[in-house]
Structure 1
Amino acid sequence: MTDQHRVDTLGCYGNPVIRTPALDGLAAEGARFDRFYTPTAICTPARASLFTGLHPFRHGLLVNPERNGGGRDEVAEHHPVLSAPLQAAGYNMGHVGKWHIGRERGPEHYGIDGEHLPGALNPFHHPSYQQWLKEQGHPPFAVERPVFGKAPPTAPAAATSSPAASGSRRRPRSRPSSPTGHWSCWTGTPATSTTTAARSCCPATGTAPPPAVPDPR
């Protein structure tokens, strides 16, 4: 079974340019689905759904664990997994590529042959990849402009005197030093209120979120 690529990138689905003989062989000897839909566009939740047969809100792996989004880090022990019935029927299972179903448990935890490569961020430090670069005459891999990491610290703005009030000072406003990532505003609807009340500004742009919307309930 393969995942995380467009359906039209395979020869067995009619792509006339890209050659995928190994995957075409899997399709010829196994099952090729004509109507198959992912429950989410995010890697870990989608893979966990393939592995458990459960929707993301059931298995709880709601985000990629590298971003610390508040979801589960591992598949719960009581959830069904794809490997169990297949191994019980005598099949040997193997895994190639990134695992990305949980943070610590890899394919070996489920009795599957394969290496537990990290999910996000390419494992360019892996010995097999470094050896391939050397054999092909390529230079060592280097990241020139990393996307992930920590933003450089920003010095707080100097406090300034307020001309309207003698002796008073305005609070210095500065951007917090934090990991680069996605900033979002959470809005909640209290049981005793008819409007959302939680509002804040976006640290990246300094702009306020849209006005609260009345609860249609």
Structure 2
Amino acid sequence: MNPTTESKRPNILLITVDQMRFDCLSILGHPVVETPNLDELARTGVRFDHAYSATPTCVPARAAIFTGLKQASHGRVGYQERVPWNYETTLPGELAKSGYHTQCVGKMHVYPARSLLGFHNVVLHDGYLHYSRNKHNVPVQEHYDETDDYLQWLRGQVPGADLLDLGLDCNASTVARPWTLPEHLHPTNWTVSQSIDFLRRRDPSKPFFLWMSFVRPHSPLDPPQTYFDLYKDADFPEPIVGDWAMKEDPGLNGLNPVTSQGIVPKRRMKMAMAAYYALITHIDHQIGRFLQVLSEYGERENTIIMFTSDHGELLGDHHLFRKSLPYEGSAHIPFIVNDLGGHLDLAEGSVVSEVIELRDIMPSLLDAASTEIPGSIEGESIWKLARANKELLENPWREYLHGEHEQGINSNHWVTNGEEKYIWYSQTGEEQFFDLVADPSELHNVIHHPELQERIQYWRSALVHELKGREEGYVQDESLVVGRKPVAVLSHMRPE
């Protein structure tokens, strides 16, 4: 294509946040959190109400975004770091080959950390990753001090600064406190500042693909003081607790500042919720800042915007925290598309109910860029769901989604169509079934309800179909087998 033709293709802005719950949007009627800029993107765009992260932790979720593959194909069915990302076909790579100027700012969470994965350039901030900070067992060239651009920049502004200065843990901490440095030094602001700088130095003869990838609201729970003050005295609703959930915490696990489950002291829980919601509003305002500059460059109406999260955060639901589990707070994610210029002929202000997944991002964005979708891609373009004439779909949308996560004794598999959900814990054999229409908060496990056994058997059979032939041996004689050893990375992706 010549430069004139290239410049008419729409820019693509992919905005991802880390660990944001699906329900933390004020347009959904959340009783506390405020997200005015995301609300506007939804109001003038399309909201996908049943978007999920099939393997809801950072590494496998990003593998789905990069490759457009199911977890069994991209090979990451749990969380394991330091496994090389040897994918020949990637979202930024395909866009770069088709004439886009490609840039990532913020979190990649790939290995090696400085892999470009098809981008022309990466300005990297992965947050605090344990493997890259453990001085006793990581090569110098892989250490955080060598790989992270934000830390280098921060130390140029504040000599000696480090990510541990606030004394907060980087992963699922329930301990919160405000950011102590000036707000413009916060990694959320830095991500937007670097993204704005990309607008200045991009190749103007090409359309651009910018992945603006925030580390927050993932812990540390460190919002700037102004945002923390918005929420610290708010009247928060209690976390939802199902009748199947733990009722007591005899081991006092909730006192652990980096707990994955337990009954957390009420004051600390309130502070954690205040900081979590504050981080979301902080991100929302910074997204508004970027959109304003995008308009100043005259590119707002020529830019297709997609917003989502890599996974959710249980935030005390059922006395659980973090992600990786199959419940709505963990696996259900926000997903908004905005096309102010009308490139895709979407039904403005509509809400899509079909189940979509992170693997659908790659084919959707390639489709939006008029770029050929490789035949190996297993996701599907979502635009046909969001058009006014979607009843004219040539083929039915997917019947259900299969999700999973290796997590030791809590290793799990689940299938859902957004209205029902069946869960199987592979190491214990425990089963759960939720009617998400009547019980969206998953308060009642109705696996033994006599009138639902036919539906439950349907979903059990669907999971058998998904797991048949897997190397772990989860299926034998058309039945699920309990106790097979789970793995985080399937053999075709493990280094020899």
TM-score, normalised via structure 2 length: 0.24
More helix by share: 2
**Of Structure 1 and Structure 2, which has the larger fraction of its residues in strand?**
2
Higher RCO (C-alpha under 8 Å, 6+ residues apart): 2
The TM-score, its normalising length taken from structure 1, stands at: 0.47
